[in-house]
Structures are given as C-alpha cells and as structure tokens.
Amino acid sequence: MPFITKQFKFCAAHKYWNDNWTESKNIEIFEDDVKVHGHNYELDITLSGHINEESGFVVNISKLKHVVNKYVVNILDHTEIQKDIKWFSGKQPSTENLVLFIWEQIFDRIPDGAKLYKIKLRETPTIYTEYFGPHMEIK
C-alpha cells in the first residue's frame, strides 16, 4: 500500500484573541499574533490505499482535487479565518485547530475507496502541523 500526497495552497488572514482573557494576558500569550496578519498556507493531503491495477492509481487525483477544493480551499482561501469561518467561533485559528477542521471536512469524502492518512499544514517556511486523525495516539 503506497501513500500518495497532493499539495494544495491557500492564502488567508487571521488573528488570535481569547475573550475570556484580559488584554495583557492575550498579549503575553499571543504576542504580535493579536493583530491581523496572514500566510501562504501549504496543505499536503496524504492518502493510503490499494493500487487499482487498471489505472495504476491509488486515487484519481482529479476527483481528490474536486473534493479538497470544494470543502477546504474554496472555504479557507481569501478569508480572515476566525471571523469568516463559523467552525472557529470560540476557537483560535491555529494550525493545530485548522488541521482538525480540514480533517472533518474531507474525511468522509475521499474518493475511490482510498483512506485519509495524514494532513500537513505549513503556515510559514519554519512552522507546520501534521494530523493523523482522532484515533492516532503516540504510545
């Protein structure tokens, strides 16, 4: 079983703010991130599955692109995440939360019987988060 990865990109803005905290606590924890800023996000979707002998593919990439564009890229691209996406109400727009959101959006929609294995979201050239789903736990 090989694992195949397709990368997607989107540009979004965000800021961090916790209404339950004082202003100084927000600044202490979130530092400059309390101000609106943005990123070129790079999203790697990794699937596992058996190779279809007739096509040589684990998954039809065109179908995968349709799903990820419809349920993730078109929703997050050109937004101010914490303000425009309802799921983030009461949550911080961190990459840690974003991978959970993205997992929920596509987990049940992977085409061709393939299985979502990993989501990797790069926020900056030096920071990224990976997620293997709610059932994966490191011993």
- Interface residues toward a second copy, by CB under 8 A: 1-9, 11-14, 16, 18, 20-21, 29-33, 35-40, 46, 48, 51, 53-58, 60-62, 77-80, 84, 91-97, 99-100, 115, 117, 124-132, 136-138
**Residue 91, token pair as written in the block:** 């949550």
- Least separation in angstroms between residue 107's CB and a second copy is 14
- Least separation in angstroms between residue 39's CB and a second copy is 5
Task: List C-alpha distances in Å: 48 to 12, 81, 121, 137.
Answer: 28, 29, 18, 18
- Least separation in angstroms between residue 106's CB and a second copy is 16
* Closer Cβ to a second copy, 71 or 132, answer by number: 132
- Least separation in angstroms between residue 25's CB and a second copy is 10
* Closer Cβ to a second copy, 4 or 67, answer by number: 4
